[in-house]
Structure 1
């Protein structure tokens, strides 16, 4: 009787919503399934469509070929992407956290105007600053240097991280900070001893967002990195395409290797990531 009553409680609207949700989810996953199927099979089996399952054989040759590609080895591209993404995530996170704490806790006459200017920087498109940034890097001698990408991505990430952390800090209770201040703790000690440990969920969300943004960037990498020896992974994958040939098996393998790093990072920080996203949206 209990099982029957549970089925009776399910309304047609609920069934429709679930069916639509499952349909959207499957449609969204379908391209990823196609990429995975193409990456692990020989090209002659997928040239007429990855959904053809006869014949079907699994091989890792595509991954090996992409990893050791003579034109642009993806192994070196992943290394360079990692060398750029790590500092370009940590530097703006630390600077943005300090600035966000200042905007959240300290009152000055010009605070709101400065904060508005910082937020407006988020609206500037990359293409608008491409030429000035390129000229600046030429004068600094940083063209085809990974440092140029670290600097531009750090500068690009600071405004949104300030906004993110400022909103998150405003959700934290003031009582703990005031008690520490009464005990003689300085503002900086309160920040790194009390506030930062409480901000780990927000930090995890920032790491995921900023790392994925830097890792997936193609525009600035294409503008600033002209030496093939320092190409990033996002530059190596498109160069698998020849003038008359599109090796979809190699492209799929390269795409999987490239996206595996941010996916793994998200899987590791998922629990903190969700908490950080919920926390920063409570106050604005």
Structure 2
């Protein structure tokens, strides 16, 4: 047996040496390395090209827009474009309002969607499959199809007609405020909430049931088990939902124009930027394009900073939420 073991080890060493030092195998290895590097570099360039272009344009002087020799590096660096666009956008006020709105809706959506996802994952009751099918349907159905009833719901907001019964008025007007965003988020019916419920359901299903059983043995109820056991173990899913919710609310202009068309929010300010800029004042259409690119760069800058700190948890959440039993 020892002889066969020695022979086997020697054969494996010979195969390893052949694969490592054989010119054909080395050529195949380096060819794959070069091909993989070129593909990764090309894909990264395609993704980063728009951002690099906007950075280059935002730092250019107006005269560089007519210089054909300027491609990436401006000949005359300036921060005047940033200062001008910040004034057009009311940038600091818009960012502050958008930050509070996005943060508030993200927290409310996190709580409501986590509870709904845990219920679909662990609590078995009659009709749960049909209810979850409706949740998935909300992902597919575009919000534009229910625009009119959604608008009227918050224009004449009333719960079971209680307000009208006591006051005689048809309802409370919640438009031009953040209440429609907060109420829909707290009820797990806000922007992309069907997707968040699906993410939490998939993640909770991937956790071992022994965690819950141990909590039940110790006398914990459903809500205590959820808060003390399941939620602390779902940090990747929480980070994923929080990041998705924050970014989508940050970039949302549809519901902002529907519920609060006069609010000073960043997405709405960017939509209005082409109409605010006066081409005859800045010198022509080319300068208008310069300011539009600068505005887009300022719009994605806070999101880019957020992703730098949250990318680790985001990648973990995407990996874990795809695992099911």
TM-score (norm 1): 0.88
CA shift, 1:15, in A, is 3.1
- Report deviation, 1:235: 1.5
Matched, 1:43 2:77: no
Q: For the Cα contact (< 8 Å) 1:218–1:235, is it kept in 2?
A: yes
Instruction: Give 1:165's match in structure 2, choosing from 194, 200, 214.
Output: 200
Who is 2:107 aligned against?
Answer: 90
SS in 2 for 1:122: helix
Counterpart check, 1:193 vs 2:228: yes
- The higher relative CO (CA closer than 8 Å, separation ≥ 6) is in 1
SS at match of 1:180: helix
1:260 shift after superposition: 1.6
What does residue range 89-128 of structure 1 map to in structure 2 within 5 Å?
89-128=106-145
SS at match of 1:94: helix
1:27 paired residue number:
46
Give the superposed CA RMSD.
2.6
Match among 233, 251, 257 for residue 216 of structure 1 = 251
- Runs of 5+ consecutive residues of structure 2 not aligned to the other structure: 1-16, 158-172
Q: Matches of residues 227-246 of structure 1 in structure 2 within 5 Å?
A: 227=262, 230-241=263-274, 242=277, 244=279, 246=285
CA contact (8 A) 1:38 1:248 kept: no
Equivalent residue for 1:271? 312
Q: 1:45 to 1:112 in 2, by over 3 A?
A: same
Q: Residues of 1 paired with 2:66 and 2:106: CA distance?
A: 39
What do residues 129-156 of structure 1 show as CA deviations (whole Å, max 9, x unaligned)?
A: 2222222232241222232344456623
CA shift in 2, pair 1:78/1:47, >3 Å: farther
Q: Secondary structure at the match of 1:155?
A: coil
User: Is the CA contact (8 Å cut-off) linking 1:104 and 1:166 kept in structure 2?
Assistant: yes
Moved more, 89-98 or 51-60: 51-60
- 1:178 is displaced (CA, Å) by 0.8
Per-residue CA shift, 1:59-97, capped at 9, x if unaligned? Answer: 22222222222xx41222212211211111111111111
Task: Please give the per-residue CA displacement for 1:146-195, whole angstroms capped at 9, x wherever unaligned.
Answer: 32344456623332211110110000011122112111112211111111
Kindly tell me the number of residue pairs found equivalent between the two proteins.
Answer: 280
| TM, length-normalised to structure 2 | 0.77
Higher-Rg member (1/2): 2
Measured in 2, the distance between the counterparts of 1:218 and 1:50 equals 37
Q: Which residue of 2 aligns with 1:207?
A: 242
Structure 1: gaps of 5 or more residues? none
Give the drift of 1:14: 4.8
> Residues 243 and 59 from structure 1, CA distance in 2 versus in 1: closer, same or farther, beyond 3 angstroms?
closer
| Of 199-208 and 2-11, the range deviating more from structure 2 | 2-11
